[in-house]
Amino acid sequence: QVQLVESGGGLVQPGGSLRLSCVASGTIFSVIDMGWYRQAPGRERELVADINPGGRTIYADSVKGRFTISRDNAKMTVTLQMNSLKPEDTAVYYCKANIIRYSSDRFRDYWGQGTQVTVSS
């Protein structure tokens, strides 16, 4: 079994900050890319940010300069620091990881259960 467990969501005022964390656990040989996605009501799930084991990052244009993704490879964790939050950032945020469970396996995607982020005054 592999689990991704997120934490850190909540309610924040516009201009505020939140920090999301996600930890992978279970039978894991290697974790490749880790990232955060979000889904607002009535909209498709979209990429927010992604980071590979070497630290190369990708950000959605809408969050560049405001959000920062980081990871700890030894602890199999990924963190999303969100600053200058806007109402349009309101969504359920999901952690995703490409994980190889055994050395002979190919990687597959695993998702967390999601955490709600609400930006409102």
pLDDT for 51-63, tens place per residue? Answer: 999 999 999 999 9
Which among 93, 54, 88 has a CA at the least distance from the CA of 73? 54
Which among 97, 95, 111, 109 has a CA at the least distance from the CA of 7? 95
pLDDT digit of tens for each residue in the chain (121 aa)? 899 999 999 999 999 999 999 999 999 999 999 999 999 999 999 999 999 999 999 999 999 999 999 999 999 999 999 999 999 999 999 999 999 999 888 999 999 999 999 999 9
39 in Cβ contact with 52 (< 8 Å): no
pLDDT of amino acid 104: 87
pLDDT digits (tens, 9 = 90+) for 12-34: 999 999 999 999 999 999 999 99
Q: For 120, what's the count of Cα atoms within 13 Å in the CB-facing half-sphere?
A: 7
111 in Cβ contact with 99 (< 8 Å): no
21 in Cβ contact with 7 (< 8 Å): yes
